[in-house]
Amino acid sequence: MKPIIKTINSPCAHCSKPFDHEVLFRVDGEDYPDLKQRVLNYTAFTSPCPACHGQSNVPQDFKYFDSAAGVRYVVYYFPKGSEAQLEDTIAGVACLRDSGTRTHYVHMISDILQTIKLYEAGTPPPENDFPVSEAAMVRSKALSSEADDSMKRVMEAMRHQQETGQFPPGFIENIKRGRAIMDAEKQQADAPKKPSLFKRLFGG
Ligand SMILES: [Zn+2]
Dist. CA 19 → ligand 1 center (Å) = 8
Which has the minimum average pLDDT: 6-10, 42-46, 181-185? Answer: 181-185
Among 111, 26, 28, 118, CA closest to 65:
28
Output the DSSP codes for 23-74: EEEEEETTT-HHHHHHHHTSGGG-EE-TTT--EE-----EEEEE-GGG--EE
Burial 14-47 (b: 16+ CB within 10 A, else e): eeeeebebebbebbbbeebeebbebbeeeebbbb
Measured in residues, the chain has a length of 204
Q: Which residues surround ligand 1, an ion (CB under 5 A)?
A: 12, 14-15, 49, 51-52, 54
Range from 16-20, 57-61, 150-154, 191-195 that averages highest in pLDDT: 16-20
Dist. CA 9 → ligand 1 center (Å) = 13
Q: pTM of the prediction?
A: 0.65
Over the stretch 157-188, which tens digit does the pLDDT of each residue have?
A: 777 777 787 788 887 777 777 767 666 666 66
Dist. CA 128 → ligand 1 center (Å) = 37
Which has the minimum average pLDDT: 34-43, 68-77, 111-120, 130-139? Answer: 130-139
Over the stretch 53-103, which tens digit does the pLDDT of each residue have?
A: 999 998 888 889 887 655 578 898 888 765 545 555 666 677 677 777 888
Residue pair 199/181 in contact (Cβ under 8 Å)? The answer is: no
Dist. CA 16 → ligand 1 center (Å) = 6
Looking at residue 74, what is its pLDDT?
87
Dist. CA 58 → ligand 1 center (Å) = 13
- Better-scored residue on pLDDT, 18 or 107: 18
Residue pair 96/46 in contact (Cβ under 8 Å)? The answer is: no
The C-alpha atoms of residue 78 and residue 69 are separated, in whole angstroms, by: 26
The residue type of 98 is D
Among 94, 175, 101, CA closest to 129:
94
Looking at residue 187, what is its pLDDT?
65
